[in-house]
Amino acid sequence: MLVTTESFSQLIHEATSEAMFLTMAESFKILADPTRLKILALLFTETLSVGEIAEHLVVSQSAVSHQLRLLRNLNIVRYRKQGREVYYDLADDHVRDILQRTFEHILHD
């Protein structure tokens, strides 16, 4: 569903439930962590294993798994198992769009 500025305003007026705003706030809170943003940046263009992410970030696999679990709980990333390895990528294009627009916003003068 394409959401325009007008339809977004209408959605806000129609769906101003406390639960919706709490979920949005939780999503922004989860995205406010630099380590999680680095993980999402790595996953922007490719699927990576927990070990590959840990290697890129020079942190433990346990630390990466913890961050990925938080992101997974809010459907920001998804995973698949292949044997003993667990691979992650962005959950969908909405997440990719949020990241891209945020980078564009920051870089815009």
pLDDT value at position 18?
75
User: Is the entire prediction scored with pTM above 0.85?
Assistant: no
| pLDDT band at 20; cut points 50, 70, 90 | confident
**H or E segment and range at residue 88:** strand 85-90
What CATH code would you report for 34-107? 1.10.10.10
Query: What's the confidence (pLDDT) of residue 12?
Result: 67
Region 71-84 average pLDDT: 96
**Are the CB atoms for 87 and 79 separated by under 8 Å?**
yes
Residue type, 10: Q
Instruction: Please write the tens of the pLDDT for every residue from 23-32.
Output: 889 999 999 9
Whether 3 shows a pLDDT value over 90: the answer reads no
| Nearest residue to 89 (alpha-carbon basis) of 101, 100, 80, 98 | 80
Give the ranges where 32-92 is alpha helix by DSSP (H): 34-43, 50-57, 61-73
Angle between helices 34-43 and 18-31 (to 10 degrees): 80
Instruction: Give me the residue spans of the domains in the chain.
Output: 1-32, 34-107
